[in-house]
């Protein structure tokens, strides 16, 4: 079914943990299907799959090392990483989407030359950073009513495969097609000191809460990534994939989770 892109597309970035939760994936795509039956807003997904990469490398007795939180990926390991992300993870999501009746199309950052990718740091090996390039393929799929499911694997101008941070890939795809961004993870938003979800968060409030150790550990990393995204896109939303009812409300434009603004 052909549709107009008069509405901004909505990009959902999925955290890796959801890929190991079959029921959560079923709930997610049920929510997307219910939403699309009511509205025709274009949707697209960007995903990582770190948990699947870690499982694969562990089974192969490959020790995964990190530098400042980023996985060091020697070029001899990138075929396995690409297989886990652009292969297994991507097709698991496609399978759930197709089962729910959605016309999913599996892509990487390289398809249609959508994004340019360059090496981030020689010490990290096959880890790349991407920039927006050509929106025609993704826009064409959206206009035709398809659901692009995009892995964070790219191809550099040197012809080599690169693993791109999935958050950064999601931001770049948003810039490419003018989409709004929702980060879905296993938390329902950013909590204040009373463990209540903060409806709207800016950099000043985030800095205060981080300094007071209210926002810490993994959530601090999520918040900093969201603030960087908001600086480029205007705002992003942090929400959970755990509650399907909230997902339907979120897709309908209701206030769910935490809105992070610049």
Task: Show which residues are catalytic.
Answer: 13, 16, 50, 167, 222
Tokens 């799929």 sit on residue: 141
Where are any strands of DSSP class E within the chain? Answer: 10-14, 43-47, 66-67, 70-71, 104-107, 115-119, 127-132, 147-151, 153-155, 161-164, 180-185, 200-201, 235-240, 258-261
- First vs last Cα of the chain: how many Å apart? 36
The residue to which tokens 């991507």 are assigned: 90
**Residue carrying the six token digits 């690409």:** 82
In sequence order, the 6+-apart residues with CB closer than 8 A to the CB of 196 are: none
């Amino acid at each position: 079914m052909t549709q107009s892109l008069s509405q901004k597309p909505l990009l959902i970035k999925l955290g890796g943990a959801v890929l190991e939760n079959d029921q959560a994936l079923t709930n997610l795509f049920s929510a997307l299907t219910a939403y699309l039956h009511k509205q025709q807003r274009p949707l697209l997904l960007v995903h990582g799959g770190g948990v699947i990469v870690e499982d694969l490398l562990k089974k192969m007795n490959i020790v995964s090392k990190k530098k400042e939180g980023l996985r060091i990926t020697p070029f001899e390991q990138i075929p396995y990483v690409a297989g886990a992300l652009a292969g297994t993870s991507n097709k698991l999501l496609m399978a759930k989407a197709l089962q729910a009746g959605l016309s999913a199309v599996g892509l990487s950052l390289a398809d249609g030359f959508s994004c340019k990718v360059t090496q981030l740091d020689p010490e990290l090996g096959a880890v790349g950073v991407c920039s927006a390039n050509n929106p025609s393929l993704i826009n064409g799929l959206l206009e035709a009513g398809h659901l692009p499911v995009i892995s964070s694997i790219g191809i550099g101008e040197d012809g080599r495969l690169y693993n791109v941070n999935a958050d950064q890939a999601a931001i770049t795809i948003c810039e490419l097609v003018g989409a709004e961004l929702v980060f879905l993870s296993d938390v329902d938003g950013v909590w204040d000191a009373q463990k209540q979800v903060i409806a709207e968060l800016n950099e000043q409030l985030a800095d205060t809460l981080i300094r007071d150790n209210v926002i810490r550990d993994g959530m601090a990393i999520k918040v900093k990534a969201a603030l960087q995204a908001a600086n480029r896109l205007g705002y992003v939303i942090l929400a959970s994939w755990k509650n399907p009812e909230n997902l339907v409300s979120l897709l309908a434009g209701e206030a769910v989770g935490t809105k992070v603004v610049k």
